[in-house]
Amino acid sequence: MKSKKTSVDRRGFFKNAAAGAAALATTGPIAKAQREGPGTSPAPAGGAPAPTPQQLARDAGNVRPPANVRAITRAGSDLMVQALRDLGIEYAAANPGSTFEGIQESIINYGNPPNQTPEFITALHEESAVAMAHGYGKAEGKPMLALLHGTIGIQHASMAIYNAYYDRAPVLMIAGNDRGDIPSHTAADMAAMVRSFTKWDAQPKTLDEALVAINRAYNEAITPPTAPTLVVMDSELQKMNAPGAKLPQYKPPQFTTVDPSRTKEIAKGLVDAQNPRIAVGRLRTPQGVKLAVELAELVGASTSTTAANGPMSFPQRHPLCGPGAETAYDYTLGLGTGGAQASIIPPDLPTIVAQRDVMNVGFGGLDGNGGGRGARGAPTAPPIQADAEASLPAIIEEVKRQLTADKKARIQDRSAKHADANQQAHVKAVREAVEAKKYGWNGSPISTARVYAELWPLIMNEDWCLSSPTGFSGGHNVQLWDHNRPYSCLGGQGAGGMGYGAPASVGAALAAKNRGRIVINIQCDGDLNYAPGVLWTAVHHQLPMLTVMHNNRAWHQEFMYVVYMAGVRGRGTNRAHIGSTLRDPFIDYTKMAAGYGMAGEGPISDPTLLAAALKRGVDSVKRGEPYMIDTITQPR
């Protein structure tokens, strides 16, 4: 029998949607699944209705838009992209998904020039897209966008959202919703699945609401507690023709600030103290860091910092940073000292959801007496429920009002003494650290201390950002490097979810790219293997990211736990490597990088070869070309 020929054009499209759908219904993948019987059927009895031929055709990519859709003069998604542009969103990272095809098309084609603010960043996994936004958010103190495919993209992204939430990083997310076109990519309440670890979400019903929601989501993301926010964007709103629609006026958020009487009290405390102290944790933006420096200098207070462990803190080598000349402090002010984990998640997990909406204040806030740490460990004043950064201008003004000539003279004298003492303390600490880090200097596998020590002279005169968590590679940057910029060190994963370091480094490199900055990523091997595709993203977008593998050929943290467990049970540790090491075969990371188009070298286990390799790596990223050095390292 002669089979009926389906009408297909030269590019392989069916000549019309009905023909394509009909053909697929009998020959396409779903028909095949139905023929193959139970276990492969997409529509179990009593479950979701079987997809229509139109849905099947669309799912298989065999539909061209009807003529009326092509007559769009001003797409709803053009306005959405304009709203993002007006907010200064630099990048939109996404793994493509048809639920946001309207927005994707607008990003890449709308505007002059198109594909800028935001630029479309191609991600190979949604978790990577959000983790990139997480790294970017910490480096810049403002959000970039992650675009997520309806339902399935959000599920892939969820761990990265959780990390960012725990880490109070500002992240903006838009997820597409196809309103029934593909049932499995649609949901009545799509944000529900990540609601317990997003700060705010909306599912707007009209274009006007959608544009307002973008502005609101941005504001919620940057308002303490800074955190990921999500707008679920109906695909019809993206595709609709909206020639007359207008963008709503954007209003920046109002931050809760310290009230005037407390402001006076704080200023008096700092100005009248014989030896004031300022403890700086994480502020919101580089502007907050600047203001903290201004305040410390005005009152001559010695300060503490978290700059070697996380972003947006006091410059580590500022003359006032350190214990100071005298460590009996008679007034201590804490700025953003709450700490991510202490503040955002109550210790008992079930309360996360319940507390989500009442945490808007008292976060990243200002402590009346030093972040819960009194001078002699005494209980301290409860935290003031306000944003530290937004409160600083008024405190600075009040301090200026209260300063008299004699107080200024005393402050000048005190500042000089602090600077002297801090410098001596710093030199002593570095000397001691250098001595300590000589242990195992010539060992192979290479000592983690040597990796940090050999990198430092190569980057110390550059504008650099240490993007990766450092705890698993010894954290030697704390003693050996100078963290003087708000983005010098981006710190940990937030919620401890592995698979963060590599994509967050790509996000940091996006922030660095047009700012003359380079990114150093000391990359744990286990962490890289969750989402190695980000290496391709770094190459594709020519990001200045140096990846130095901390290749201990294990999930060493877990290996140590198993060693301990076997030890306490008296069963010996010779089988502890099962399930917690990356052996047999060893993974070849330079080959992996090469597969994604990234230049690199290694594996290097001879420490005498390290410095020259690192130099080649730094030179490469200074040219804007990412590079990987696979170093075989000590476990810790």
Ligand X SMILES: Cc1ncc(C[n+]2csc(CCOP(=O)(O)OP(=O)(O)O)c2C)c(N)n1
Residue in the structure block whose two tokens are 């490469």: 620
Point out which residues pair with 202 in neighbouring strands: 231
- Which residue among 524, 548, 593, 621 contacts ligand X (CB under 6 A)? 524
Residue 461: CB minimum distance to ligand X, A: 29
Under rule CB under 6 A, residue 365 binds ligand X: no
The encoded tokens of residue 112 equal 């002059």
Residue 271: CB minimum distance to ligand X, A: 46
The encoded tokens of residue 609 equal 């070869």
Kindly state the number of chain residues that form the binding site for ligand X, as judged by CB under 6 A.
16
Residue 345: CB minimum distance to ligand X, A: 16
- Inter-residue contact 277 to 332 (CB < 8 Å): yes
Under rule CB under 6 A, residue 310 binds ligand X: no
Q: How far apart are CA 403 and CA 82, in angstroms?
A: 47
Q: How far are the Cα atoms of 53, 57, 234, 316, 368 from residue 62, in angstroms, in the given order? A: 11, 5, 22, 58, 64
Under rule CB under 6 A, residue 555 binds ligand X: yes
Q: How far apart are CA 550 and CA 32, in angstroms?
A: 47
The encoded tokens of residue 150 equal 């309806």
Which segment (186-194, 484-492, 548-556, 621-629) binds ligand X by CB under 6 A? 548-556
Under rule CB under 6 A, residue 181 binds ligand X: no
Which segment (53-61, 105-113, 219-227, 552-560) binds ligand X by CB under 6 A? 552-560
Dihedral sign (CA 280, 289, 500, 351): positive
Under rule CB under 6 A, residue 527 binds ligand X: yes
Under rule CB under 6 A, residue 531 binds ligand X: no
Residue 374: CB minimum distance to ligand X, A: 34
In the complex with ligand X, the residue whose CB is nearer, 101 or 558, is 558
- Grouping H, G, I as helix, E, B as strand and the rest as coil, residue 383 is strand
- The CA-based angle 281-283-285, given to 5 degrees, is 150
Which segment (236-244, 352-360, 494-502, 535-543) binds ligand X by CB under 6 A? 494-502
Under rule CB under 6 A, residue 552 binds ligand X: yes
- Which residue among 119, 220, 389, 525 contacts ligand X (CB under 6 A)? 525
| Omega cis (within 30) before 114 | no
Residue 168's Cβ-count burial label (10 Å; 0-12, 13-18, 19+) is buried
Which segment (225-233, 525-533, 592-600, 614-622) binds ligand X by CB under 6 A? 525-533
Under rule CB under 6 A, residue 341 binds ligand X: no
Residue 126: CB minimum distance to ligand X, A: 15
In the complex with ligand X, the residue whose CB is nearer, 17 or 133, is 133
Q: Which helix (H) or strand (E) holds 578?
A: none
- Which residue among 557, 563, 587, 594 contacts ligand X (CB under 6 A)? 557
The encoded tokens of residue 89 equal 């969103």
Q: How far are the Cα atoms of 261, 327, 331, 607 from residue 274, in angstroms, in the given order? A: 22, 11, 8, 50
DSSP sequence for 14-27? BSSHHHHHHHHHHH
- Grouping H, G, I as helix, E, B as strand and the rest as coil, residue 254 is coil
In the complex with ligand X, the residue whose CB is nearer, 589 or 596, is 589
- Inter-residue contact 359 to 225 (CB < 8 Å): yes
Q: How far are the Cα atoms of 136, 533, 616 from residue 626, in angstroms, in the given order? A: 17, 14, 11
DSSP sequence for 600-628? EEEEE--GGGHHHHHHHHHHHHHTT--EE
Under rule CB under 6 A, residue 558 binds ligand X: yes
Which segment (203-211, 365-373, 452-460, 547-555) binds ligand X by CB under 6 A? 547-555
Residue in the structure block whose two tokens are 């958010």: 137
In the complex with ligand X, the residue whose CB is nearer, 127 or 387, is 127
The encoded tokens of residue 146 equal 């992650």
Report the site for ligand X in 147-166 (rule: CB under 6 A).
159
Residue least distant from ligand X (Cβ): 526
Under rule CB under 6 A, residue 496 binds ligand X: yes
| Rg from Cα positions in the chain | 27
Which segment (231-239, 495-503, 598-606, 616-624) binds ligand X by CB under 6 A? 495-503
In the complex with ligand X, the residue whose CB is nearer, 420 or 588, is 588
Beta strand 276-280 with 228-234 is unpaired
Q: Show the site string, 453-472: x = touches ligand X by CB under 6 A, - = not.
A: -------------------x
Residue 125: CB minimum distance to ligand X, A: 13
Which segment (31-39, 114-122, 496-504, 609-617) binds ligand X by CB under 6 A? 496-504
Residue 479: CB minimum distance to ligand X, A: 19
3-state secondary structure 290-337: HHHHHHHHHHCCEEECCCCCCCCCCCCCCCCECCCCCCCCCEEEEECC
Under rule CB under 6 A, residue 293 binds ligand X: no
- Which residue among 411, 498, 592, 618 contacts ligand X (CB under 6 A)? 498
Which segment (76-84, 91-99, 220-228, 497-505) binds ligand X by CB under 6 A? 497-505
- Which residue among 217, 554, 610, 629 contacts ligand X (CB under 6 A)? 554
Give the DSSP letter of residue 66: P
Residue 568: CB minimum distance to ligand X, A: 19
- Which residue among 136, 454, 556, 628 contacts ligand X (CB under 6 A)? 556
The residues of the shown chain that bind ligand X, judged by CB under 6 A, are 159, 472, 496-499, 524-527, 552, 554-558
